[in-house]
Amino acid sequence: MNFEQPMSDATKLKFTGERFTPECVREMAYEHWHRYAWAATHVAGNRVLDAACGEGYGSYLLSQSASRVFGIDLSEETIAHASARYKSQSLEFVQGDVTDLPLENGSIDTVVSFETLEHLSTQDEMLGEFRRVLQPEGCLLISSPDRATYSDATGYDNPFHVRELYRQEFEDLLAKHFPAYRLFGQKLMFVSALWPLEGRGSALVHTDFGGRVEHGDTPLFPPLYFLAVASADERHLPDCSKLSLYSDINESVYKHYNDEIRNHIRAGHLLAERDAEIERLKAELEQAG
């Protein structure tokens, strides 16, 4: 799938840290774009709800393969921006609350909700609304950070997150509304990796750079985010069993890494030159004294 951002005179949405914008680069871009690119492969011909759509870039991407996409967000300003920036006959942006969706019962084939759950305390109500608007054969694609790795392990406190969930809490919430679900993990490397947490099928090689190499079906490290595919019945779940890797054609993260390495080497050379100059000046002072 080729995705080209439409040209528009619409003002770019200011990045505040609360919601992702397409102007963001490197790590954050990998994580957010990967989720929507992954979702786009599972919504062909579907009626899709992009819940808490934010800036609108993801809704637009989904609209390239879906039959109809409704991007819904609580912010009236954000919806106005998205409507002005992204134009598609199969796309509509609507102001609304994810806990009280302006959609009919059973009117949606796929609900997409990425990085929304942790921003709400009314998580149960949101999942209930997703189940209500989905048809019986419908599917939910949802993501949320793993509190254990996103916050606990790093000591990071995201001021925009109201309630982050541990894995078991996430699974318990899903199971309450969607008896059938499969869990995936996502973490940024030089690519964004998305893999099934249960089952086999991927071929991965790990090394600690100390001569030890291990082969396995899943990465050896814990995911930073959970994604889930959920439905009312196991039969309606799409086949998402394969490892998914996402990168951009310009390899921006790797380029940034190389730039930092070059800057580090350059700084080292400058320090060496400075030290040499200091030693030369010391020698001259000693001779003059």
pLDDT in tens, 108-125: 999 999 989 999 999 999
> Structural domain boundaries of the chain?
26-248, 250-289
Max mean pLDDT range (11-15, 78-82, 85-89, 130-134): 130-134
How high is the pLDDT of residue 7?
41
pLDDT tops 60 at residue 146: yes
pLDDT tops 70 at residue 133: yes
How high is the pLDDT of residue 138?
97
pLDDT tops 80 at residue 131: yes
Cα 114 to chain center, whole Å? 7
d(CA 256, CA 84): 32
Question: Quick one: average pLDDT of 122-131?
Answer: 97
Q: What percent of the chain has pLDDT over 70?
A: 84
How high is the pLDDT of residue 277?
93
* Of 166 and 203, the one with more pLDDT: 166
Length of the chain: 289
* Of 91 and 156, the one with more pLDDT: 91
Residue among 2, 18, 21 nearest 81 (CA): 21
Question: Quick one: average pLDDT of 28-49?
Answer: 87
> Residue 3 gets which letter from DSSP?
-
Reported confidence tier of residue 190, pLDDT bands at 50, 70, 90: confident
Max mean pLDDT range (4-13, 16-25, 176-185): 176-185
Sequence-distant (≥ 6) Cβ neighbours of residue 180 within 8 angstroms:
230, 231, 232, 233, 234, 236, 237
Reported confidence tier of residue 209, pLDDT bands at 50, 70, 90: very low
Per-residue pLDDT tens digits for 220-262: 778 888 889 999 999 999 888 778 888 888 878 778 877 888 8
Enumerate the β-bridge partners of residue 187: 193
> Comparing 23-27, 68-72, 259-263, which segment has the lowest mean pLDDT?
23-27
The correct CATH number of 26-248 out of 3.40.50.300, 3.40.50.150, 3.60.10.10, 3.30.565.10 is 3.40.50.150
* Of 15 and 124, the one with more pLDDT: 124
DSSP 192-219: EEEEESSS----EEEE-SSS-EEEESS-
Enumerate the β-bridge partners of residue 192: 188, 246
Reported confidence tier of residue 152, pLDDT bands at 50, 70, 90: very high
How high is the pLDDT of residue 63?
93
pLDDT tops 60 at residue 140: yes
The overall average pLDDT reported for the chain is 85
How high is the pLDDT of residue 25?
45
Alpha helices in the chain (DSSP H): 26-40, 57-63, 76-85, 123-133, 147, 167-177, 252-288
pLDDT tops 50 at residue 216: yes
> Residue 148 gets which letter from DSSP?
I
What is the sign, positive or negative, of the torsion defined by CA atoms of 127, 108, 101, 62? positive
